[in-house]
Amino acid sequence: MHFVFGGAFTGKRKWVKQHYASESIKWHCLYEDAVLPAFEFEESYIVLEGFEHYVKELIHSELESPHLVVKKLIQKWRDSGVWEQLIVIGTEVGKGIVPLDPTERQWRDECGYAYQHLAAHAKKVDHIWYGIANRLKEEVQ
């Protein structure tokens, strides 16, 4: 799994499209549809863009702590074999500023926890800033 994150409108989508330009990609925008897609193995890679929006939807569902759902999701992805094909794009929420609104604060916190899980388990992690990638992690096989 490749986790790509950065601030809003800093070039994450463009960078992923350029970085994987020669690959077959299925793109799922969670801003438009916050439901995770059924994964089909027709493409080389599957991109989930807007993971922070998925976390926000989990908060609104009030079923379980979003970061715990993400932990289970990571295991499910690993077990299903989709892990190697997955590219997750997330926008940083809050950038260190703690919101006064409790719901916004919970969203910031849950995104932080979820991103920690994603980064810990990802094979590659890139931080994108103004279209420039800073590779933070790469597991060599």
Cα separation, 102 vs 134, whole angstroms: 32
Tens digit of each residue's pLDDT (9 = 90 or more) over 77-115: 999 888 899 999 999 997 778 878 898 899 999 999 999
What is the mean pLDDT of the segment spanning 119-136? 96
C-alpha count within 13 angstroms, C-beta hemisphere, residue 68: 5
Provide long-range contacts, Cβ within 8 A and 24+ apart, for 80-84.
80/39, 81/41, 82/39, 82/41, 82/46, 83/1, 84/1, 84/123
Indicate the pLDDT class of residue 41, thresholds 50, 70 and 90: low
pLDDT reading at 44 higher than 90:
no
Look up residue 33 and give its two tokens: 């549809």
Look up residue 109 and give its two tokens: 């916190």
Tens digit of each residue's pLDDT (9 = 90 or more) over 10-20: 999 999 999 99
What is the CATH code of the structural domain delimited by 2-96+107-134? 3.40.50.300
Tens digit of each residue's pLDDT (9 = 90 or more) over 47-75: 999 999 999 999 988 788 898 899 999 99
Nearest in space to 52 (alpha carbons), one of 27, 64, 34, 79: 34
pTM of the shown model: 0.91
